[in-house]
Copies of this chain bind each other. A is one copy, B any other.
């Protein structure tokens, strides 16, 4: 925890916010708008004993600026031109974010000049020839009913200076970036290049990761929806498994570095017998290894359901060459197909009849519309991103921390990840519901 205290949680601004917020206008018409002040801060860790210890030792406990509407704003809404870009893989709720950004800019602040960048950062490159997409309340009115992103998306960064050129040339003064870790890295670089040029352009990030592994953030949008769909798939895998003699249902779920989806789906659909995640090491062969325990399970119960996060068991590919995707992320080896073959071969060798059904539902999970809970989260998140951007904040992202929305400096989350705590209650719950042991020799 000591490291955390060195985190710089102060938020950069483009300058002094002097313009009275138009949001104020509602005052006097019944409800009075409650503005938020920069001094309001939210503790990252709500553990009272730790906070008190820190205080006693003369240390300030880590906290983030509270998000919300400010009484004064930096930009003149009537002159402001904003842009929105979505990057990386699909995630339920992306359209909700886009929609709410547009509605909040338009109706709360009176910003009527908003454009969408097509297909991720690629849309900034004139070489690709993508037109900007004008975004109005009418064009975004129903987009939250559909999955994916109406702006389109792509992987991979682009030349930072060219992006800033476009922002400057097209008079965009406020940029909202929706994306994962790589997008936030690029957003940081864009913000730095902007400052270097002495421009007054804000960059606000809305972190997107279906894996729910953003450092310091409670819950990211789309995660709950993903778990809901994953649960349906696991139910199908269970039906396949129980309908065959020694039936095995094997489901690969998302989770490159963290097993949150696999763990939460297991808690929600307690027919899973093995949950394999990146955070928890396991062996395949040998006594107490996965294959032996799986065989025991089949002998006793005649079926088994296995859930594996895509980042689990990467040690089995240690000798294989590394590959990278367009964003520069290491391309994981396919643990699902690997297990399918290993398990099938094992039972042939053991001369035991077994039927394995392998399901890889990733594209079906990430492309659905947000469920109700995520829809509400997206609306609140986007609205706060707008408040922050209008107030002149920059190089920051919005997130949920202890049930409050906060401003987090971009550098503080990039390159770091939340992971399942294998000694914590969530993973204990998984072990209890699956009954699986350590799966190690």
Interface 1/0 per residue, A112-125 and B, CB below 8 Å: 00000011001000
Interface pair B425/A372, CB less than 8 Å apart: no
Give the interface centre of A103, A147, A264, A421 by most chain B CB atoms within 10 Å. Answer: A147
Is A285 an interface residue when CB atoms closer than 8 A count as contact? no
Find out whether the CB atom of B364 lies under 8 angstroms from the CB atom of A108.
Answer: no
Whether A438 touches B29, Cβ cut-off 8 Å, given contacts A245-B122, A402-B402, A403-B402, is: yes
User: Chain B residue with minimal CB distance to A33?
Assistant: B428
The chain B residue sitting closest to A120, CB to CB, is B245
**With A153-B243, A236-B147 as contacts: A424 and B34 at CB distance below 8 Å:** yes
CB neighbors of B among A48-91 (8 A) = 48-49, 51-52, 55, 61, 63, 66, 68-69, 90
Residue in A231, A268, A379 whose Cβ sees the most chain B Cβ within 10 Å: A268
Q: Is the CB of B239 within 8 A of A147?
A: yes
Query: Cα distance A39–B367 when bound, in Å?
Result: 44
Interface residues of A in 179-231 (CB under 8 A from B): 218, 224, 227-228, 231
State whether the Cβ of A345 lies closer than 8 Å to any Cβ in chain B: no
Chain B nearest CB from A32 CB (Å) reads 6
Q: Is the interface of A mostly helix, strand, loop or mixed?
A: mixed
A152 at interface (Cβ–Cβ under 8 A)? Answer: yes
B47 and A41 form a contact (CB under 8 A): yes
Instruction: Let me know if B42 and A61 touch, CB within 8 A.
Output: no
Which of A157-165, A169-177, A310-318, A429-437 interfaces with chain B? A429-437
Interface size class of A (residues with CB under 8 A): 35 or more
Task: Say yes or no for A280: interface residue by CB 8 A criterion.
Answer: yes
**A440/B48 in contact, CB under 8 A:** no
Known contacts A30-B439, A239-B90, A423-B34; decide if A119 and B380 are in contact (CB<8 Å): no
Which of A14-22, A355-363, A391-399 touches B? A355-363
Q: Tell yes or no: A145 within 8 A of B by CB.
A: yes
B231 close to A31 (CB less than 8 A): no
Within the complex, which residue of B42, B154, B267, B269 is in contact with A48, where a contact is CB–CB below 8 Å? B42
Q: Scoring A residues 246 to 283 as 1 if CB is less than 8 Å from chain B, else 0, what string do you get?
A: 00000000000000000011011110000000001000
Contact partner of A107 (CB less than 8 A), chosen from B153, B357, B376, B432, is B432
Q: Is the CB of A367 within 8 A of B239?
A: yes
Interface assignment of A404: CB less than 8 Å from any CB of chain B = yes
Complex contact B47–A43 (CB within 8 A): yes
| Chain B residue nearest in CB terms to A281 | B30
Contact A152 B245 (CB under 8 A): yes
Given contacts A148-B240, A380-B425, 13 further A-B contacts (CB under 8 A): A30-B440, A33-B423, A42-B47, A90-B239, A107-B432, A122-B245, A147-B235, A148-B239, A152-B242, A224-B373, A264-B376, A265-B372, A402-B403
